[in-house]
Amino acid sequence: MSQQGAARMEELVSLCARRGFVFPSSEIYGGINGFWDYGPLGVELKNNLKTFWWQRVVREREDVVGLDSSIIAHPRTWEASGHAEHFGDLMVDCRACKKRFRADQLDEAEPCPARQGTSEHDLTEPRSFNLMLETRIGASEDAAIRAWLRPETCQSIFTDVKRVREAARQKIPFGIAQVGKAFRNEINPRNFTFRSREFEQAELEFFVHPAEAERWFETWRDERLRFHREIGFAKSRLRTRPHAKQELAHYCRAALDVEFLFPFGWHEIEGIHQRGDWDLRRHTEYSGKDLAVTDEETKEHFLPMVVETSMGIDRTCLALLLNAWEEQPLPDGETRSVLHLHPRLAPVQVAVLPLAKKLAEPAGRLAQRLRRRFAVFYDEAGNIGRRYRRQDEIGTPFCVTWDFDSETDGKVTVRDRDSMAQERIAAQALPGWLVEKLEERP
Amino acid sequence: MSQQGAARMEELVSLCARRGFVFPSSEIYGGINGFWDYGPLGVELKNNLKTFWWQRVVREREDVVGLDSSIIAHPRTWEASGHAEHFGDLMVDCRACKKRFRADQLDEAEPCPARQGTSEHDLTEPRSFNLMLETRIGASEDAAIRAWLRPETCQSIFTDVKRVREAARQKIPFGIAQVGKAFRNEINPRNFTFRSREFEQAELEFFVHPAEAERWFETWRDERLRFHREIGFAKSRLRTRPHAKQELAHYCRAALDVEFLFPFGWHEIEGIHQRGDWDLRRHTEYSGKDLAVTDEETKEHFLPMVVETSMGIDRTCLALLLNAWEEQPLPDGETRSVLHLHPRLAPVQVAVLPLAKKLAEPAGRLAQRLRRRFAVFYDEAGNIGRRYRRQDEIGTPFCVTWDFDSETDGKVTVRDRDSMAQERIAAQALPGWLVEKLEERP
């Protein structure tokens, strides 16, 4: 990462902690590497992203239904998926300093602290290290079974596919979508929330006839790119990267990453994969249950193929913050820190500010009325310019000021975050005006 | 549980699996005891409950903010909270059959299978069994730390309280709310989703001046009872049960359970607790960080007291289904199965049904328009009576039928789930009509 990039990340991490977007888990105990907590603004941003994804991928479609499966599944799930055996990195240990490194990242390793005078570690042969977090379930030591925290949310979609398809009365082509936590014991968590040990995914597994897999892969690629543009990503910071044949995972027939230009380089925020029938074939084999479907017209009995779209929620939130964040020079020579978040995603949609403390009562009443429909922040402390800046920094699209005229003319001043333009609007008409503005597509 | 109650539970479990509300996790591998998956309808019901809780507890209040902390926290958290040492049940093992039992539930134990001819187990002395699920975090065996999956969501609220209060610029009294997963290695998961090993909580920790703790306990009790009535619980199946002094947990100064009448008896769906300053005192002690606050006016420096409201999401969903479910005899001698869910919580808000297949196209267009704002199910299969029944059984409040007249008069027939009354409404006016009906309070 460039020095400038590192400085930018450091500033963002600081802003996120100070304003309550994201900060280290268990901070008072010194934190725990790879775990993050979302504060009052972070949880709203994350929820808005998840809700909008659910809206576009599930609610608005006739051919997709939702699922919320348990984080801990039957361990056979991970034997069938291959994770129990193969999911991990090749690792080497230093016999001197006892540190462990990824075999493919050795050039990044610092000199061995236990062998001063030489910069070299005393390394073992590479061996595989499983990234799944393990636990034990059950009451007695004898009867306890080893189980894993899921490293991805999609496998339960495969194991539940028959039950869900029948209950939802769906036919091929159709999809099952899920949002939820997953866990990986990353060797080296890094880049803020980009690579952490506990993270959230929004995954869709779309089941199709083998002859239509290619077409649906393209459809979902276009659909998902439209989504990323809809949530406001700048074209210059978003790209797709198809995987070369030799890059493909064993279960994959085609893959494409949606990448964002982070300060630490281009990195994946979503993966779109044509998984073939790998998953259903394996789970059929391991469970002895037939997961194939029969075409009612042609009587063809076949394993559907799967097109997957898998978005990292934490990564996308991080990308959204970086994409939106500007240190903007103003005409008066000052600089403002502003998050140009899409109004649909902004943690606070409207701030209500009385111009003076003696106007607190009517302004407070207005805020309370708006709370029924919008995410509202009420702030009466400090001069109005400072209060605008505080809202700019957290990405609040609209500030509504109640002033001395409001008492007589029933109007309020609405300030736009991006243009900083101000407009007088009747307080009565405000909810309707806001609904329209917040739902506008960019 | 009575025979009748058991039969009712069995029927509900079957309905839930068949219609895709809830079914065993990893069903194709024989399930995993204490873990459940929410299907297409279940996830919508659960999300609607969580969203409504968030609306009432966080969004509409000026004095509550949200949090989304990691499931795995620094292990010191659980030492400070007392869970590492004390969280568990007293257990006894049978030396003969190796089974383990809760010491306080021994009378429920069946005869020992390893000592035939005698009904008695050969039991050890009771010893404590920790209910937290354990895992290990970190790359190398040497450096790995033991960690636990949180057994409750509230502790991170306490450890994050200072960061959140400052970032959100809140003052006492104020609250922090969180919805999320928690895990307990229950000895004996039972009663469907009522007692499972992976579950979801919606918790609020409200921080107050010690002199105001009693008043806020009462305020939140009333607030939460209003919520449970708002989501439609029948008065006859809801009660509060204050804990007697000797029942109180060590951290508790007062406690009250909100109980629902399940087929297996009165059981808690939410707990309301006055936790005193126990938590903040312990975390201050264990972290060395001062979690007290200073009153700006009086300069008093004190540890706030905590009023907690803790709702079990899975239990409340189960209670909602039982509360809503009726096998209703009809005038024609038939019986219909109907879920009288509050329209706000119903997984499907409106079903669109063409009267005949040849009307599929305009009906489909209407469904697609409605999908932008509502949870819609489109169904063209089977006679209209059967389609009504299918919607009744999943609690869809409104069925909209597109018939041959609709083509000419632009009107549709809207059927009400509960009264089964039908009404002609202009298709144009339908969205507005639905918004009004869905937001009506009961």
Show Cβ contacts of residue A333 under 8 Å, excluding neighbours closer than 6 positions: none
pLDDT of residue A88: 74
- C-beta of residue A118 within 8 angstroms of C-beta of residue A112: yes
Distances from the Cα of A90 to the Cα of A93, A100, A104, A130, B202, angstroms: 10, 10, 8, 9, 40
DSSP state of B211: G
Q: A227 φ, ψ to 5°?
A: -60, -50
**Chain A interface, mutation test: which of B19, B61, B72, most A Cβ atoms within 10 Å?**
B72
Q: What is the DSSP letter of A132?
A: S
Indicate the DSSP class of residue A68. B
> Is B164 an 8 Å CB contact of chain A?
yes
Task: Give the other-Cβ count within 10 Å of A347's Cβ.
Answer: 25
Neighbours of A342 (CB within 10 A): 22
pLDDT in tens, chain B (442 residues): 899 999 999 999 999 999 999 999 999 999 999 999 999 999 999 999 999 999 999 999 999 999 999 999 999 999 999 999 877 777 787 888 877 777 877 765 568 877 776 768 888 888 777 899 999 998 665 567 999 999 999 999 999 999 999 999 999 999 999 999 999 999 889 999 999 999 999 999 999 999 999 999 999 999 999 999 999 999 999 999 999 888 888 788 899 999 999 999 999 999 999 999 999 999 999 999 999 999 989 999 999 999 999 999 999 999 999 999 999 999 999 999 999 999 999 999 999 999 999 999 999 999 999 999 999 999 998 899 999 999 999 999 999 999 999 999 999 999 999 999 999 999 999 999 999 998 775 4
| Structure tokens that stand for A122 in this block | 């005393």
Enumerate residues 6+ apart whose C-beta is below 8 A from B201. Answer: B152, B153, B178, B179, B180, B182, B310, B311, B312, B313
CA angle, residues A372, A432, B343, in degrees to nearest 5: 45
According to DSSP, residue B189 is labeled: -
The helix-helix angle for A360-371 and A430-439 (nearest 10°) equals 50
B102: its two tokens: 């809760």
Who contacts B309 (Cβ-Cβ below 8 Å, separation ≥6)?
Answer: B57, B203, B204, B206, B220, B223, B224, B270, B271, B272
Q: Cα(A356)–Cα(A381) distance, rounded to whole angstroms?
A: 9
Contact criterion met (CB < 8 Å) for B164 and A372: no
Closest C-alpha among B379, B374, B403 to residue B389: B379
Choose the closest CB to A44 out of B27, B66, B135.
B66
Range from A243-252, A279-288, B226-235 carrying the lowest mean pLDDT: A243-252
Q: Which amino acid is at A162?
A: K
Q: Which of B71, B134, B137 to mutate to test the interface with A (most CBs of A within 10 A)?
A: B137
Q: Give strand ranges (E) for A184-251.
A: 198-208, 238-242
Chain position carrying tokens 């290619």: A214
On whether any CB of chain A is under 8 Å from the CB of B13, the answer is no
**Of the segments A99-103, A134-138, B143-147, which one has the largest average pLDDT value?**
A134-138
C-alpha pair distances (Å), B318 with each of A349, B108, B322, B324, B347 = 34, 25, 6, 10, 14
Question: Can you read off the two tokens belonging to residue B254?
Answer: 């007062």
Paired with A398 in beta bridges are A350, A416
| Contact residues, chain A, for B47 at CB < 8 Å | 54
- A203's tokens: 């995954």
